[in-house]
Structure 1
Amino acid sequence: MVTVDKAVIAKIEKGGKRFEILVDPELAYEFREKGRINKRIIDILAIENVFKDSKKGMPASKQDMIEFFGTDNIEKIAEEILRKGEIQLTTEFKRKKLEARKMQIAEFISKNSIDPRTKISHPPQRILNAMEQAKVHIDIFKNIDEEIEKTIKAISHILPLSFEKIKLEIKIPPKYASKCYGYIKSLGSEPKWLDDGSLYSLIEIPSGLKDEVFKKINYLTNGENSILIK
C-alpha cells in the first residue's frame, strides 16, 4: 500500500458533491489503462476511506455515498471513481507515461509494417518523428489499439506503410529443437516434432518482424537452421 505522501487524489463529482480517494499513482494508472489489475481495488488506496475533501481529511458521509453510489462499500465506490473519475497525476508522471506510450506505438508500427518501397521496416525513431510532424495527440488513458489506429492514419501521408504478412517455413535440427520450441510457439505457431527429433513450423508474421525472427533463431541455433520465405 502506498504511503499518503506519495499518493495522488482521484475524484468524481455527483449531484454537486465531490468524492475523493487517495491512490497509488502507478496502480491507479494501470487500472485505468487496462481496466483491471492483479491486485484488489483496496490495495490501490493509501487510506481505506472516501473523502469529500482529502486535503482537509474530511470524510464523505455514509448518507451521501449511499445516495450517489447506491452503497457505502469503499471498494465499490473506489472502483467507480477509478474508472470514471479524474486521477490527478503529476505533470512529470504524465510526461513519462506519454513518452513511454509514444515509443510503444512506434515500436508496434515498426515491427508490424514495412516501407513498401524498400521492403524494410521503418525504425521507431523515424515513426516518432512522423508522429511529431503530423501532430498526433496521444492520450495515455485511451485504449492502446485505438491510439495505434489513429496514429497510423495520421502518419500514413508522411511515411508509406504496408502491413503485409509473410510465411516462414522453419526447421530446427534436433540439438537445438528444445531450445527453440518456446520462442517459435510464442510467434503464434504450434511447432511439430519430426521423427528425427527436429522441429518444424510454418508461421505467418508481419513483414516487419522478419529480421528479428531470423536474428533470434540464428542466435538460438548458432546459425544451424533452415528458414525459407514462402
Structure 2
Amino acid sequence: MISLDEAVTARLETHGERFEVLVDPDAALEMKRGEFEGDLEDVIAARDVFENASRGDRPAEEALEEVFGTTDPLEIIPEVIDRGEIQITAEQRAEMQERKERKLINIISRNAINPQMDDAPHPPERIENALEEAGFTVDPMETAESQVDEALEALRPVIPIRFEEVTVAVQLPPDYAGSGQAKIREFGELDSEEWQADGSWVGVLTFPAGMQNDFYDLVNEVSEGEGETQIIKEKGELDTR
C-alpha cells in the first residue's frame, strides 16, 4: 500500500450516496484505463471505503449492499475507481505533471536521434528545452508513453529528430556467455540467439538507435571488453504508436 501522504481520493456519487477510497493517482488512472497489471494493494492507501475520506466517515452497510451488492472493501474499491472520478489537488496535479514530463523526456532521449548530427542521441536537456520552446504541455492524467507521438510532432519544427531502431549482433566469449547473455537479452527485442560449439553465445537484438552507446557499454561490462558487436541492419524508422 502507498502512504496516506501520497494518496488522493477516488469518488463515486450514485444512488444519492457518496463513496470515496484513497488511492495512488497514477495507479488508479492506469486501472481505469485497464492498463494496470499489479495488485490492488499497490493502488490503495487503506482497505476501506468512506463516505467522506477527509473526516474518516464511513457509509452505512445498507448503502454498500444496495449499490455494490457487498460490504467487502476489496471488492468495492475497484468499482469506485472504475466508475468514479480521481480527485487531485493543484499541488498533486503539478507533481504528477512534472513526473510525467521527466518520464516523457527520458523516453524520447533514449529512443530518438539527431539525423543532422550523424544520428547522435539528443541529450535530455535539449529535449526539455525544445519541448518548452514548442509550447508542449504534458497531460498529467495520461501516461507518458501515450503522449510520445504528440510530443514528437511538436518537437520536429524545433529540432531535427527521428525515432529509429537498429539491429545488432553480439558475440560473448565462453567465459562470459552464461551470465552475460541473460543481461544482454533483456536490453531489447531478441530476434535470434545461438550457442556456439565452443560455448560462446551469439544474439541478435533490435532496439532504439539512440540507445546504441548504452548497449555497447553493457556488452563491454558483461564481457570485460572481450565481446564483439556488429550492426547487421541499417537503422529504420521506429513506430512509436
Give the alignment's TM-score, normalised by structure 1: 0.82
In 1: Cα distance, 2:165 partner to 2:8 partner: 44
Alignment of 1:52-131 (within 5 A): 52-69=51-68, 71-118=70-117, 119-131=119-131
Distance 1:222 1:136, change over 3 A: same
Residue 45 of structure 1: CA displacement?
4.4
Aligned equivalent of 2:174: 174
In 2: Cα distance, 1:200 partner to 1:13 partner: 58
Aligned equivalent of 1:20: 20
Look up the SS of the partner of 1:36 in the other structure.
Answer: coil
Please tell me whether the aligned partners of residues 32 and 141 of structure 1 are also in contact (alpha carbons under 8 angstroms).
yes
Please tell me whether the aligned partners of residues 27 and 43 of structure 2 are also in contact (alpha carbons under 8 angstroms).
no
Q: Partner letter of residue 123 of structure 2?
A: P
Structure with greater helix share of residues: 1
In 2: Cα distance, 1:111 partner to 1:202 partner: 20
Residue 144 of structure 1: CA displacement?
3.3
How many residue pairs get aligned? The number is 226
Q: Does 1:141 align with 2:141?
A: yes
Structure with greater strand share of residues: 2
- Structure 2 residue runs without a partner (length 5+): 233-241
Aligned equivalent of 1:217: 219
Alignment of 1:153-192 (within 5 A): 153-186=153-186, 187-189=188-190, 190-192=192-194
Distance 1:196 1:7, change over 3 A: closer
Distance 1:184 1:6, change over 3 A: closer
Aligned equivalent of 1:32: 29
Q: Partner letter of residue 175 of structure 1?
A: D
Q: Partner letter of residue 189 of structure 2?
A: G
Residue 41 of structure 1: CA displacement?
5.4
Q: Percent identity, aligned pairs only?
A: 28
In 2: Cα distance, 1:42 partner to 1:222 partner: 39
Distance 1:71 1:30, change over 3 A: same
Look up the SS of the partner of 1:125 in the other structure.
Answer: helix
Residue 131 of structure 1: CA displacement?
1.6
In 2: Cα distance, 1:150 partner to 1:103 partner: 16
Please tell me whether the aligned partners of residues 111 and 206 of structure 1 are also in contact (alpha carbons under 8 angstroms).
yes
Give the alignment's TM-score, normalised by structure 2: 0.78
Look up the SS of the partner of 1:53 in the other structure.
Answer: coil
In 1: Cα distance, 2:92 partner to 2:64 partner: 30
Please tell me whether the aligned partners of residues 30 and 37 of structure 1 are also in contact (alpha carbons under 8 angstroms).
no
